[in-house]
Structure 1
Amino acid sequence: MSSRYPRMRTGLLTWQLGRSLVALYLHFICAQKGIYDDSLRNFFRNVDTRGNDDGIDISRGKICSLKARAVLIDMEEGVVNEILQGPLKDIFDSKQLVTNVSGSGNNWAVGYKVFGSQYRDQIVEKLRQTAEHCDCLQCFFIIHSMGGGTGSGLGTFVLNLLEDEFPEVYRFVTSVFPSGEDDVITSPYNSVLAMKELNEHADCVLPIENESLFDIVSKINHMVTSGKPGTTVKPESLVTLNEGGIKKKLQEKPFDTMNNIVGNLLLNLTSSARFEGSLNMDLNEISMNLVPFPQLHYLVSSLTPLYTLADVNIPPRRLDQMFSDAFSKDHQLIQADPKHSLYLACALLVRGNVQISDLRRNIERLKSSLHFVSWNQEGWKTSLCSVPPVGHSHSLLALANNTCVKPTFIGLKNRFSRLYKKKAHLHHYLQVDGMEENCFIEAVSSLSSLIESYNELDVTKGFPVHDQLRLNIVI
């Protein structure tokens, strides 16, 4: 909507930082004037701690000390400690941390049943304190992984808590799905158990696959090493580290870059809340316009250009090509091909010097190649933010409610089936108090129901039903 709508402070919650929140700090880094303005207020508090241990919030004026509106939760304190000892340690409130030392042992039941019960009151109190610092709490972001025990278990426990404590506040979840070759043997169990909670308690879920992130990193690496004219990388960037002329950091440890891609997803998603624009979009409009059925709230995201990292400069693509790229399978953050699947709705969040006429022209150009449900042929939601990403003239985030997400869920169900058929590792879960085998049956039933819902939509458009849907779980 237009900028006459009041700007809202957004509540941001992460169960584990994983560096993806770090990208939001780029907004502060690029604020050359050092002034605490409305855009910074969305994700940061300006705290003056002089003479006051608790600090006093300053609503306007010069930046004193920024504190992120975030709660960091991880049952392996080493992950959080690594952040608190790094260059961004000062932006996180040390009182808004929840950590343990043992971890969840890659066990959803330990994260959800044990640590959820043990830390419930502490988490609720920290959530309440963070929310009270917001003038108008618009939504929560939960960033978590699905394969481990804490991310899947405690992460979805927190999601459940948010619905209980803040039932009117929208819950956006960024879920990182494990790859088929994940080194956590129990990740299919953890992911399917977590999926049931996401189905029931999330308003919008942005699924992301590690495989897709790694593919994007590989493309960035190819662009950097190909010697293409105009391609530059800043020294000591997240992408590469020059040592004797050899760029090697990306190949050895791509996780920082992979997390930064997720961070750029959030930067584009929240751009309308942070900057002015001719057609700004309220975050809650995404759920209102893109989720026609409560259960089908999984949105496939794509970024273009892929290389919107602040420390990589690559010659910009033509504007029209940018829109075409957004619907290509090579730009999706999950392994999916939206062009050959069915759209329920689609949102385009554009940043930079782009006109409404450019948006309309490209939508009309692409419509004929995209398959929309018959009852929502004009199911487009658009947003224009005038401020582009750092180092780029324009960018585009596309969010599609599309049945192409179904193969991700089918693959997850199949990996679950192979383990569950043999009852492999099941005893680790059943020895946790309150955990019963029926929990697995209910979880896979919930996932099967979700797959079937997408299948029914595909059938109406004549898309083939995946043969693997006929696989049954052996109880």
Structure 2
Amino acid sequence: MSTIWLQIGQCGNQVGQEWWKLVTNEKAPNSTLDRYPFRAPDGKLSALCVDSEPKVVRSLLREVKSGSFRDSNISLGLRGRGNNWALGYHGLKREDDNSLLHRTLDSFRKEVERRDAYSGVVLLHSLTGGTGSGLGAHLCESIREEFPVGYILSVTVAPHQVGESPLQHYNSLLCLSWLQRYADGVLLFHNDDVLRRMQVLCGKKIDHAPALQPPISLSDMNTHIASCLAGLMYPVSNLRTQRGTASWDSMLSSIVRTLPRHSPTGDVYQSTAVLAVARGNRAETFNCSLQPIMMKMKQGYGCVSWNSHPLDSWTDPCNIVDLMSSSHSLTICANHSSVSDYIQRVLEKAQTMYDAHAYLHWYWKHGCEEEDFMQAFEILDSVVKEYIAAGDH
């Protein structure tokens, strides 16, 4: 595979480490070096890790010693970015051409040059941390300018609605606007949704003893996100969002039941496109019952009428998450208009803070300008309007 994986900041590197645990399982299909889809021709992982602090990435040193990870692909700073998009984007004032941004781009160019063809990059990062949001946005912009033909897919994690950082709405606003301008696609995971999903899964496992239900850890949430990515993005010969021995219809019903149907204002949510990935030793039965499953998906996800082919499906006989079991998994990726509610909430929170001039001095101090905010408000407002218009065609 000619794709490079770029892990940025604490969140990006933690999710990335869980991702590599899954896909580098030596029992996984296509795991031999000449066919392995996530390695460079010399057998090293096609990954770069960048963080402004060394604490999270230290665990990767074991992978460096084992020979699977390239030491030159780890770029670290000595000072965090203070949960500030502006500091992450513009960097420290005393930095020169040896800055974290320049070192990362230099490693990226060398990784591109190691392969016969370059198709694109997957960015793993968060919307709220200074490094993930600010440096992530700058890297996305720089990679687009230097490698305009390659695709850029952002896998980004939105913060909890309440309580992560007083700057999270500004950071999310600015980062999302940069992704809208420079990325080809965004897979958005929301911490609140991931936590609810994990609580449902854990509740099912030990519903006979709710008092003993273990707390959901950050590591659990990162593993869940990584397994969702594996279900969607691992090659098919063709996540663990749903697993077990249930029928495909039952699994789909369980997923559809969790979908929000209406916005707070009563508008019906719709999807412009939906992809289902079925994995496991029963994958062939998915194709046998494809028509009723697709009809249920079309109705459950509210596919827009103007798209004549809104649904697609992939299958693979191997369940990458549970290689030793007979379980099967169903992963669904949808461009669902409920995301506009999150964007609208970011807009409203950020606008309220901006009008009150709250915390703005921290952004002016590190190089941000009023035009950056005005452009971000305009871009995200247009995204919300486009989602609304998509259902009116």
Q: Fold-level match, TM-score > 0.5?
A: yes
Q: Which runs of 5+ in 1 are unaligned?
A: 1-7, 47-56, 58-65, 229-245, 278-301, 308-314, 462-475
Which of 120, 123, 128 aligns to 1:147? It is 128
Query: With structure 1 as the length reference, what TM-score do the two structures score?
Result: 0.72
Deviation of 1:304 after TM superposition, in Å, equals: 3.4
Q: Match of 2:223?
A: 260
Which of 304, 327, 346 aligns to 2:241? It is 304
How many angstroms apart in 1 are the aligned matches of 2:105 and 2:19? 26
* Aligned residue type for 2:190: E
Deviations 1:216-270 (A, max 9, x none): 2222322333259xxxxxxxxxxxxxxxxx978x51x611111111111221222
Please say if 1:399 is aligned against 2:380: no
How many angstroms apart in 2 are the aligned matches of 1:225 and 1:373? 39
| Percent identical | 23
1:378-457 to 2 correspondence within 5 Å?
A: 378-389=309-320, 390=322, 391-433=325-367, 435-457=368-390
Deviations 1:49-89 (A, max 9, x none): xxxxxxxx2xxxxxxxx532111011011111144358997
Which of 276, 291, 296 aligns to 2:237? It is 276
Q: Match of 2:277?
A: 349
Q: 1:28 to 1:79 in 2, by over 3 A?
A: closer
Q: Is the contact between residue 64 and residue 71 of structure 2 (CA under 8 Å) also seen in structure 1?
A: no
Three-state SS of the structure 1 residue aligned to 2:292 is helix
Which of 107, 111, 124 aligns to 1:130? It is 111
How many angstroms apart in 2 are the aligned matches of 1:210 and 1:451? 21
Q: 1:36 to 1:135 in 2, by over 3 A?
A: farther
Deviation of 1:210 after TM superposition, in Å, equals: 0.6
Q: Match of 2:164?
A: 183
How many angstroms apart in 1 are the aligned matches of 2:342 and 2:30? 44
Three-state SS of the structure 2 residue aligned to 1:376 is coil
> Cα RMSD between the aligned structures?
3.0
Please say if 1:84 is aligned against 2:61: yes
Three-state SS of the structure 2 residue aligned to 1:98 is strand
Q: 1:407 to 1:139 in 2, by over 3 A?
A: same
Deviations 1:275-311 (A, max 9, x none): 522xxxxxxxxxxxxxxxxxxxxxxxx9630x5xxxx
Q: Match of 1:224?
A: 205
Q: Match of 2:248?
A: 319
* Aligned residue type for 1:456: A
Q: Match of 2:298?
A: 367
* Aligned residue type for 2:293: N
Q: Match of 1:44?
A: 39
How many angstroms apart in 1 are the aligned matches of 2:77 and 2:91? 12
How many angstroms apart in 2 are the aligned matches of 1:213 and 1:321? 21
- What is the total number of aligned residue pairs between the two structures? 376
Q: Which moved more, 1:166-175 or 1:111-120?
A: 111-120
Q: Is the contact between residue 260 and residue 338 of structure 2 (CA under 8 Å) also seen in structure 1?
A: no
Please say if 1:22 is aligned against 2:18: yes
How many angstroms apart in 2 are the aligned matches of 1:363 and 1:441? 42
Q: Is the contact between residue 232 and residue 333 of structure 2 (CA under 8 Å) also seen in structure 1?
A: no
Q: 1:161 to 1:25 in 2, by over 3 A?
A: same
Q: Match of 2:85?
A: 108
Q: Match of 1:471?
A: none
Q: Is the contact between residue 177 and residue 209 of structure 1 (CA under 8 Å) also seen in structure 2?
A: yes
Deviations 1:327-367 (A, max 9, x none): 332699xx99xx94112111112212223232233113443
Q: Which runs of 5+ in 2 are unaligned?
A: none
Deviation of 1:39 after TM superposition, in Å, equals: 4.5
How many angstroms apart in 2 are the aligned matches of 1:444 and 1:327? 32
Q: Is the contact between residue 176 and residue 380 of structure 2 (CA under 8 Å) also seen in structure 1?
A: yes
How many angstroms apart in 1 are the aligned matches of 2:66 and 2:189? 27
* Aligned residue type for 2:83: N
